Amino acid sequence: MGVKGRLKDMGLVDIIQIFNAERKTVAVHLGSELGYGRVFIKDGGVVHAAYREFTGPDAFFQLLAWHDGEFEVEPDAVAPERTINESPEGLILEGLRRLDEARGKGRETGGNVGDLESIRLMNRLIELGILEKA
């Protein structure tokens, strides 16, 4: 029996953090108007992701950018291959960094706007327990 939900209610970062903390083995199936993707977690670590022609970290970063869509968790699913060796924390940090960078490229910004987005990103990472306040 799996869990289902909407990404706008619980994003991929939250899903990864939950199963990482519990050291679970699952497949997370994601669907939206953008297509279908999968993320496999083994003993809490992300080991494989697939989306369109992408696999591994590239697929994971594409899926991380989704703000809406549906997800379904399949317990005890075995990944068809291992394409990701990074820690979940490192993978999420890199993905969020790329998202932040991509947002910055799409507009003209003043110094303060980028600073505010960086602060929001840092606060989100603290909320998720990826970073700690000094």
- The full set of domain ranges for the chain reads 4-84, 89-127
Q: What pLDDT does residue 98 have? A: 87
- Is residue 94 within 8 A of residue 34, CB to CB? The reply is no
* pLDDT tens column, 83-116: 999 999 999 999 888 888 877 765 544 444 445 5
Kindly give the parts of the chain with pLDDT less than 70.
1, 105-126, 130-134
pLDDT at 105: 66
For residue 50, which of 64, 61, 60 has the smallest C-alpha distance? 60
Coil, strand or helix: which one is 110? Answer: coil
Average pLDDT along the chain: 85
What's the confidence (pLDDT) of residue 113? 44
Given a contact cutoff of 8 angstroms between Cβ atoms, the answer to whether 95 and 60 are in contact is: yes
pTM greater than the 0.85 cutoff: no
Q: Which residues contact 129 (CB under 8 A, 6 or more apart)?
A: 17
